[in-house]
């Protein structure tokens, strides 16, 4: 098919989720032009239910991007979290241990705010693109082609940001002989529900029980998000609302179960868990961000936050290049991003290993989990290490 439209920009961003939109908005604040290409519709992107715990670094980036007003007024500041095992429960105080907090604000709302900002600025976002192809990423003249409505388009650019997720085209564009991939697949999933009910507690509860992991979280004071560990072969329709609530109550401390308000679920889904990293995160003028380069299990809510740290490094590298004619930040991008990614991977792997029941877990393994939880409960230094990772390591 012949190219029917040809245009030019400084940065092509593939993927219209929160990381691609945040990068586009940050670049806009510095006068750097970009085009965002998204495979789905805007409504589809906004319909995806994701985590809602924002590290301090992401909160700062939202302020820098000029999109923090609603987040600051509606987000819930959390200075700590609760961890339970059996009927025991203790608190990790983020504020006391680190001087920082996290903000509970849904990823859907982050995305909504970023769409509004890009639309106000007349930022170019093209939805429902097909057959996206990255060309010449290892040259000084890269370009991207894509198709919409049976017409083929070409965008010439200086740089390409691959923010298109695990199944996107960006990572696959890097030759297989250049890429190294590391993966761990966990032998269980998370069944998550959204319900228009008040949260059982004003802080998140991470629960290790003999029946498996559970998490009590929230989106706001009248919208709760709950998860339980489930078999990887389960389907959402296998779980009635009554069955879900009964199982959740069995996995959290009795005093919390007694306070749990149940009701019809708005959304119900099952997510597999995996740890995944690809190296390098740069090939020529193509830079990978977020799930295109790495995935973490949701324990500890690091997915969006690691994507945000990638955006931080790439945005500042592009700013340094365009404002100072200095490529040092771009040259160091992969090394800097991966150094922080692997630390987030370690934390998510550790926290997942601590809180879940594994199919092949022995009685010795369980005793080690309990000993680790007891140590975490009694050791200030262990709590500080966890709190530092939870609120977000510095960029």
**What's the CA gap between 275 and 186, in Å, rounded?**
8
Whether 206 is a known active-site residue: answer yes
Using alpha carbons only, give the angle 24, 77, 315 rounded to the nearest 5 degrees: 20
Whether 298 is a known active-site residue: answer yes
DSSP type of residue 77: E
**What's the CA gap between 217 and 226, in Å, rounded?**
6
- Catalytic residue, chosen from 186, 206, 315, 333, is 206
Whether 115 is a known active-site residue: answer no
- Catalytic residue, chosen from 85, 298, 333, 356, is 298
CA distances from 69 to 7, 8, 60, 62, 291 (A): 34, 32, 12, 9, 27
Pair type for strands 130-135 and 124-126? unpaired
DSSP type of residue 121: T
SS3 annotation, 46-59: HHCCCCCEECHHHH
- Catalytic residue, chosen from 78, 100, 268, 312, is 78
**What's the CA gap between 105 and 221, in Å, rounded?**
11
- Catalytic residue, chosen from 153, 302, 336, 356, is 302
Contact 373, 85 (CB under 8 A): yes
The residues near 97 (Cβ < 8 Å, ≥ 6 apart) are 380, 383, 384, 387, 388
Kind plus residue range of the DSSP H or E element containing 43: helix 42-47
**What's the CA gap between 134 and 169, in Å, rounded?**
8
**What's the CA gap between 364 and 362, in Å, rounded?**
5
- Catalytic residue, chosen from 105, 146, 333, 390, is 390
The percent of the chain in helix, strand and coil, each rounded to the nearest 5, is 40, 30, 30
Pair type for strands 151-156 and 143-148? antiparallel
DSSP string, 179-220: -EEEEEEEEEEEEEEEESS--SSSS-EEEEETTEEEEEEEEE
DSSP string, 216-283: EEEEETTEEEEEEEE-TT--GGG--HHHHHHHHHHHS-HHHHTT-----EEEEEEEEEEEEEEE-SEE
State the catalytic residues: 78, 206, 298, 302, 390
């Amino acid at each position: 098919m012949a190219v029917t439209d040809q245009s030019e920009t400084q940065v092509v961003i593939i993927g219209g989720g929160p990381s691609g939109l945040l990068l586009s908005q940050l670049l806009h604040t510095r006068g750097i032009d970009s085009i965002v290409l998204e495979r789905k519709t805007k409504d589809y992107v906004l319909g995806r239910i994701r985590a809602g715990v924002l590290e301090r670094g992401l909160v700062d980036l939202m302020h820098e991007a000029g999109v923090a007003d609603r987040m600051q007024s509606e987000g819930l500041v959390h200075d700590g979290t609760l961890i339970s095992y059996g009927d025991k429960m203790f608190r990790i105080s983020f504020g006391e241990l680190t001087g920082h907090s996290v903000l509970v604000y849904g990823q859907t709302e982050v995305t909504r705010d970023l769409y509004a900002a890009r639309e106000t600025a007349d930022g170019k976002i093209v939805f429902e693109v097909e057959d996206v192809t990255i060309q010449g990423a290892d040259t000084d003249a890269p370009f991207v082609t894509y198709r919409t409505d049976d017409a083929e388009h070409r965008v010439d650019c200086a740089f390409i940001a691959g923010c298109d997720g695990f199944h996107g085209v960006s990572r696959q564009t890097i030759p297989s002989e250049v890429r190294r991939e590391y993966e761990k697949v966990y032998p269980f999933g998370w069944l998550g529900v959204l319900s228009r009910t008040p949260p059982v507690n004003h802080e998140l509860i991470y629960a290790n029980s003999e029946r498996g992991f559970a998490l009590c979280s929230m989106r706001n004071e009248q919208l709760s998000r709950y998860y339980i560990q489930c078999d990887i072969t389960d389907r959402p329709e296998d779980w009635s609302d009554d069955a879900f609530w009964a199982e959740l109550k069995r996995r959290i401390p009795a005093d919390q179960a007694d306070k749990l308000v149940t009701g019809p679920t708005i959304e119900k889904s099952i997510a597999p868990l995996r740890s995944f990293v690809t190296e390098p995160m740069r090939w020529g003028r193509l830079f990978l961000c977020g799930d295109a380069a790495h995935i973490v299990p949701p324990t500890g809510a690091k997915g969006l936050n690691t994507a945000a740290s990638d955006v931080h490094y790439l945005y500042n590298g592009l700013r340094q290049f365009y404002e100072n004619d200095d490529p040092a930040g771009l040259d160091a991008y992969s090394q800097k991003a991966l150094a922080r990614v692997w630390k987030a991977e370690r934390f998510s792997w550790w926290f997942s290993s601590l809180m879940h029941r594994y199919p092949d877990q022995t009685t010795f393994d369980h005793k080690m989990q309990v000993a680790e939880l007891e140590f975490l409960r009694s050791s200030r230094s262990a709590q500080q290490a966890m709190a530092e990772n939870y609120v977000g390591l510095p960029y």
